[in-house]
Amino acid sequence: MSTMSTLPTATAKSHIPVVDFAYNSEAGRQRVAQELITACKEVGFVYIVNHSLPESMLDEAFHWSRLFFDLPQELKLKAPHPDGWAVHRGYSWPGLEKVSQAMSGDGLDREQLREIPDFKESYDIGSDENVDQPNQWLPEEDLPGFRDFMHRFYWQCFRVGGEILRTLAVGLDLDENHLLTRHSGHNNQLRLLHYPPIPAVAIETDRAARCPAHTDWSSITMLFQDDCGGLEVEDVTQPGTFVPAPPLRNAIVMNVGDLLQRWSNDILMSTSHRVTLPPLPDRFEGSERMTRRRFSIPYFMSPDPDMLIQCIPSCVAEGEMAKYEPITQGNYNKMRASTNY
């Protein structure tokens, strides 16, 4: 990943904030917590810098991701995504998954959404102790060391995600561990993503998509990007307008998931985002306007399936009612996952 320090050039309201997690006092922690909450209320996305995930580990994660996706297809298919939507693990080849979701009022049904394929491939990993979501590992001899590293990276991401959830809790005037209740780490998901080269005209004419507009289902998502670009976030002040979220080296792009928006009674915002043509000058390879390859790694934090998601007390005013009925994470996930495959 090459150094990328330029941040989005957008209006103040659509600008994606940067929150620096380097603090050494309780006052500093309170300041960071309030900055994070403000970003989650107003934008739903934030760059987190000076977090505790080592730079060397991030570089290694992208190294292993490239090694995996460079394998011959017949080897990747030794760890296939199981049929259906119930288990979300293993390798998904281009066109298998449809992330697009019908936003309210867009008039699209699921069959219409499937007409535009998502041109990407992915590999999903979870906790080896989650028997309901069994991992689909390659045989060790096909990519020695891959499983061991991804296991360590998964739990390091959980540790850092826990730090973010504690900070959010502080900003919401809760006990710091409130949002970590029943977040054992065994229900999280690590995803390796590869967007292969594709003719730009296919995206420009809507014959293919990298990853169309969607929101995430999780509590929070932590995203790591390579230097290609292409991530865009909806400007909530101008619905339907998207602004770039350019790569910032070693930063976490953190966003609120639908579950946390529901949990917070819509106080924190789960914002639509997409991956499209990279905005950078070197987005094409060769004379045929083929897009560059893009790699990214999201990590989705979710409570355990039996966790009952009901309104956070500090997110509903006295005398008012919560907007949503309580629901377990497991039932919420089933409702959402059935639209994807």
Q: For residue 243, what pLDDT is reported? A: 92
User: Which range is least confidently modeled, 42-46, 117-121, 175-179?
Assistant: 117-121
User: Which range is least confidently modeled, 1-15, 18-32, 40-54, 211-225?
Assistant: 1-15
Angle in degrees, 0-180, between the axes of helices 146-171 and 55-69, rounded to the nearest 10: 130
Q: For residue 9, what pLDDT is reported? A: 37
When pLDDT is averaged across residues 236-249 and rounded to a whole number, the result is: 91
The sign one gets for the Cα dihedral 11, 45, 164, 294 is: negative
The pTM of the full predicted model, rounded to 2 decimals, is 0.88
116 pLDDT band (50/70/90 cuts)? low
The per-residue pLDDT for range 286-298, each reduced to its tens digit, is 667 888 899 999 9
Phi and psi angles of residue 90, each rounded to the nearest 5 degrees, phi first: 90, -170
Q: For residue 338, what pLDDT is reported? A: 65
User: Which range is least confidently modeled, 56-60, 91-95, 244-248, 305-309?
Assistant: 91-95
Residue 257 has pLDDT above 70, yes or no: yes
Residue 12 has pLDDT above 60, yes or no: no
Q: Say if residues 284 and 290 touch (Cβ distance below 8 Å).
A: yes
Percent of the chain clearing pLDDT 90 (strictly above): 66
When pLDDT is averaged across residues 169-189 and rounded to a whole number, the result is: 94
Instruction: Quote the CA–CA distance of 313 and 74 in Å, as a whole number.
Output: 51
Q: Say if residues 257 and 237 touch (Cβ distance below 8 Å).
A: no
107 pLDDT band (50/70/90 cuts)? very low
Instruction: Quote the CA–CA distance of 189 and 183 in Å, as a whole number.
Output: 12
User: Which range is least confidently modeled, 10-14, 147-151, 168-172, 179-183?
Assistant: 10-14
Q: For residue 145, what pLDDT is reported? A: 98
When pLDDT is averaged across residues 332-339 and rounded to a whole number, the result is: 75
The per-residue pLDDT for range 186-220, each reduced to its tens digit, is 999 999 999 988 888 888 887 878 888 899 989 99
181 pLDDT band (50/70/90 cuts)? confident
